[in-house]
Structure 1
Amino acid sequence: MSKLMLQFEIESDFVDTRRGVSAKGKDYEIHTQKAWVYLGSKFPKEMQLSLDDPKHALRPGLYEADLMPALDVGDFGKLTVDVRKLALLQATKPAARAVG
């Protein structure tokens, strides 16, 4: 299967942690880190990466990931992306910028 590579940029190692209690009374924590993804348009798009543990925050820099392992067909036949399945690796070259 071929790869579908995307590039991401992390500006800060800050992790946003949200805590609460579910409707079933169970405590939960959600950890996210802001990232920018390059989709071929003039500017990158802001997104949130889900983290299992805030200790796994990415350091600032450029990263790339193969999107294929994170793709799936979900409810009602809709294509979904599970960002938890993205294996981000340090990028070897700068993100390609769209012209125009």
Structure 2
Amino acid sequence: MLKIEIFPEHEKKQSKLIPGKEGKPAKTIYEQIAYAYLGGKFPVEMKLTLSEEDQAYKAGLYTLDSSSFTVNNFGSLELKRYGLKIVELEEGELM
């Protein structure tokens, strides 16, 4: 199971304005910093993409929600490019 941690100092959603190109309007991206435990000595910083309506995740331990996966055209399992969701780990699930 992939463990993802959000620390108290990263409980806020951050916004970033991406300028429009070739006549397209500017776009605002919403992100939150989290850390993924990938088996190394230290967790790796990552960014969770959020929608404008999404609330930021509170500090705690999470794992990927099953809705974050899809089966591609070749029948292989992959992470969705957009719409990554995480769910809080229960105390009994903590690694």
Please report the TM-score for the alignment, with normalisation by the length of structure 1: 0.67
Q: Which residue of the partner structure matches residue 26 of structure 2?
A: 27
8 A Cα contact 1:51 1:84, kept in partner: no
Code of the residue aligned with 2:14 in structure 1: it is D
SS of equivalent residue, structure 1 residue 84: coil
8 A Cα contact 1:49 1:83, kept in partner: no
Q: Structure 1: which 5+ residue stretches go unaligned?
A: 74-78
Equivalent-residue separation in structure 1 for 2:5 and 2:17 (angstroms): 26
Equivalent-residue separation in structure 2 for 1:7 and 1:49 (angstroms): 14
Q: Which residue of the partner structure matches residue 37 of structure 1?
A: 36
Q: Which residue of the partner structure matches residue 50 of structure 1?
A: 49
In the comparison of the two structures, how many residue pairs are matched?
88
RMSD, matched Cα: 2.8
8 A Cα contact 2:13 2:55, kept in partner: no
Which residues in structure 2 correspond to 1:1-100 (within 5 Å)?
5-11=1-7, 12-23=10-21, 24-53=23-52, 55-66=54-65, 69-70=68-69, 81-82=79-80, 84-93=82-91, 96=95
Equivalent-residue separation in structure 1 for 2:37 and 2:94 (angstroms): 7
SS of equivalent residue, structure 2 residue 82: helix
SS of equivalent residue, structure 2 residue 30: strand
Deviations 1:40-86 (A, max 9, x none): 2211110001001264210111111146843666xxxxx96436333
